[in-house]
Structure 1
Amino acid sequence: MNGRTPPLGDSTGLWQAVIAAAAGRCQCRGTCGKTHAKDGDRCPAVHGGYVRHGTGPVSLLAAASDPAALLLPEHRAAALPKRELAAWCPACHDATRRTAAKANRGTAPPSDSLF
């Protein structure tokens, strides 16, 4: 796998555009709970690189840049424009999503159902 191999189904080039805008690096600036202080306040994970010894290569995700928007249903998240997306490493994405879900507990999620 090279450093810019897109995921299957990226026929629009959206993933590639988001990753290129991020210079191939995770754009988390601490919403995951880590300060990333040693790395200029930004996650050091690079697409295709290794975070630490013994782990596989990092595959960056293109997902909502706003942590609250990470909780959107998949069909609404897929409709977000490029300007509202960021590159995330899986660890930062999952941790930020968990934090947003905890903060959102007790509030009624927006309903997408008809009934």
Structure 2
Amino acid sequence: MSGRVPPLVGADLWQGVMAAAAGRCQCRGTCGKKHDKDGGRCPAVHGSYLRHGTGPVRLLAAPADPDGLLLPAHQAAALPKAALAAWCPACHDATRRTTAKAQHAAAPAVEPDSLFDL
């Protein structure tokens, strides 16, 4: 737990989520990667370096449910600790994109309004 710098707002909530995650990203492949080398879970640990030349990993506390990643910020901020998970930025962004694409593909096609009645 040492070396973790919490965000300025919601530090208690963030620290609770990080403690539950043991300071490691909780993605299990929703980002599109299988994370096979690491037992099916993302290897990103808060404050560590994944590759040479990159900055340290800064984990996010965000909705655990991939659909929740598309919630407006004010709704996501109101979620309880049990509904949150630790995400590295790469897994968070990839999961969010994948979920948005899936929801867009599943949405029924809407015909545009016509300007004129024929």
User: Is TM > 0.5 for Structure 1 vs Structure 2?
Assistant: yes
Query: What TM-score, normalized by structure 2, do the two folds share?
Result: 0.86
- For 1:3 and 1:67, locate their aligned partners in 2 and report how far apart those are by CA, in whole Å: 28
Provide the residue aligned with 2:59 in structure 1: 60
Query: What TM-score, normalized by structure 1, do the two folds share?
Result: 0.88
Alignment of 1:27-106 (within 5 A): 27-105=26-104
Provide the residue aligned with 1:112 in structure 2: none
Provide the residue aligned with 2:16 in structure 1: 17
**How many pairs were matched up?**
106
Structure 1 runs (4+) deviating above 4 angstroms are none
How far does the alpha carbon of each residue in 1:18-47 deviate from its partner, in whole angstroms, 9 at most, with x for none? 011000000000000000000010000000
* Percent of paired sites with the same residue: 74
Provide the residue aligned with 2:4 in structure 1: 4
Where does the alignment leave 5 or more consecutive residues of structure 1 unmatched?
109-115
Q: Rg: which structure is higher?
A: 2
